[in-house]
Amino acid sequence: MKFADIPGYESIKDKLTKAADSGQVAHAQLFACTEGGFGLMMALAYAQYLNCENPSDGDSCGTCFSCIKSSKFVHPDIHYLFPVAKSKKADSDELAALTPSFRNFLNDTPFGSGSDWADTAGFENRTPIINVRAVRETIQGLQLKAFEGKFKIQLIWQPETLRAEGANALLKILEEPPAKTVFMLISREPDNLLPTLISRMQRVGIPLPVYEQIISFLTARFGEDSERLKNAVALSEGSVPEAIKLMEEKEDDYHRWYLEWLRACFRQDTSRFLQLSEEFQEMGKELQKTFLKYCMEKTRKAFIFSSGAGEILHVQEAEKTDLEKLGKILHGDAAEKMLSELDKTWYHIDRNASARMVFFDCSMGMASAFKLPKTLA
């Protein structure tokens, strides 16, 4: 991974490379970032830069032996610690067993969210954490291993999943770090880390990527700069994986489902609620969340149209006609009630509630929205 693979953030890259060039690399760094953003990629690019044999113009060369190994995530001096779910087999070394999957994850979706990783690794409903044994073994390994590059680097992704014991074990080594060793902790919830850990680290804040950054990243990835891509990015609220999912999913399907669902709610058709809840259940968690986001966005836009402020939205003619129609039923309190039901449902799905149940409840809630008296003439 090169810095050039990450769009924008020039001042952050500049700060990092200047520190390296002047021999002032902090031995522990906290990459404070957002879910679905570029924090992990920034740490990977920095790790590659630190050990590159010929860095120039503020980036690693990408072609030396060290860079080639870094870019395949097999550099002997770059180590990874990441959350894993407890295996059903007692005493198995999950971290080692899942390292190949994690390398694939880094290769394909280094911007992926925690739930993307859980899907890749097949954790199902087991919650992945970084357990204390993995921390202790990692630390031991770090102290023993000889190194061939300039730095030994330990990346720790999602340190917020550490429990107290693991965090304390980590704290110990940060207090007495081995020479030429750099710890990079990449956290989407940096404020949930132990304050004593935070105080040991230099903070590198990676803000939510803006629209242009994601557009530029996805344009390179998909080789196109289409209207569809722009819509996907606009809907994704700064989350790269979300935008990709929207790109890859057929938006037409969401629209069809959304309309069917609305119709069922409008007719108070509870038997249809049951069937739809079954269909939504089949989607899987991530698509359910994306679909709910889609529903919220459509509802919000329709509401804006119903209140006569449609011109503030830059939508194309076809969508405009569509939203004007929807706006006839999605206005005032009904739209507000629907949005709050959808939002609540997203929250429960995110926390692994039974999709069948929450979608059914949501349908009932939305149906009741249509019983509310009209507030608009």
Distance, CA of 47 to CA of 181 (rounded, Å): 11
Cβ closer to Zn ion: 64 or 315? 64
Q: By CB under 5 A, which span of 61-69, 183-191, 318-326, 337-345 interacts with Zn ion?
A: 61-69
Q: Where are the alpha helices (DSSP H) in the chain?
A: 10-21, 39-51, 65-71, 94-108, 114-121, 132-144, 164-175, 195-198, 211-222, 227-236, 240-248, 251-266, 270-283, 285-306, 317-327, 332-350, 355-369
Cβ closer to Zn ion: 53 or 324? 53
Task: For residue 145, report the phi and psi dihedrals to the nearest 5 degrees.
Answer: -65, 135
Q: Locate tokens 């529903």: which residue?
A: 295
Contact residue for Zn ion among 26, 64, 132, 287 (CB under 5 A): 64
Task: For residue 107, report the phi and psi dihedrals to the nearest 5 degrees.
Answer: -70, -45
Taking the complex as a whole, how short is the minimal distance between the CB of residue 181 and Zn ion, in angstroms?
20
Q: By CB under 5 A, which span of 52-60, 80-88, 289-297, 352-360 interacts with Zn ion?
A: 52-60
Contact residue for Zn ion among 1, 67, 218, 264 (CB under 5 A): 67
Q: How far apart are the two ends of the chain, measured CA to CA in Å?
A: 57
* DSSP SS3 for 283: helix
Distance, CA of 105 to CA of 121 (rounded, Å): 9
Cβ closer to Zn ion: 46 or 82? 46
Cβ closer to Zn ion: 61 or 287? 61
Q: By CB under 5 A, which span of 64-72, 139-147, 196-204, 367-375 interacts with Zn ion?
A: 64-72
Q: By CB under 5 A, which span of 55-63, 77-85, 143-151, 178-186 interacts with Zn ion?
A: 55-63
How many residues at the interface with Zn ion, by CB under 5 A? 5
Taking the complex as a whole, how short is the minimal distance between the CB of residue 54 and Zn ion, in angstroms?
5
Cβ closer to Zn ion: 48 or 213? 48
Q: By CB under 5 A, which span of 53-61, 81-89, 253-261, 367-375 interacts with Zn ion?
A: 53-61
Contact residue for Zn ion among 52, 121, 156, 326 (CB under 5 A): 52
Contact residue for Zn ion among 26, 61, 169, 287 (CB under 5 A): 61
Distance, CA of 342 to CA of 348 (rounded, Å): 10
For residue 28, what is the enclosing H or E element?
A: strand 28-32
Residues with Cβ within 8 Å of 298's Cβ and at least 6 positions away in sequence, in order, are: 255, 258, 323, 326
Contact residue for Zn ion among 17, 60, 161, 345 (CB under 5 A): 60
Residue 342 makes contact with Zn ion by CB under 5 A: no
Cβ closer to Zn ion: 60 or 161? 60
Dihedral of CA atoms 250, 254, 260, 266 in degrees, nearest 10, equals -160
Taking the complex as a whole, how short is the minimal distance between the CB of residue 133 and Zn ion, in angstroms?
34
Cβ closer to Zn ion: 4 or 357? 4
Residue pair 355/281 in contact by the 8 Å Cβ criterion: yes
Distance, CA of 161 to CA of 256 (rounded, Å): 38
Q: By CB under 5 A, which span of 58-66, 139-147, 295-303, 322-330 interacts with Zn ion?
A: 58-66
Residues linked to residue 154 through DSSP beta bridges, in sequence order: 79, 183
Q: Which residues bind to Zn ion, rule: CB under 5 A?
A: 52, 60-61, 64, 67
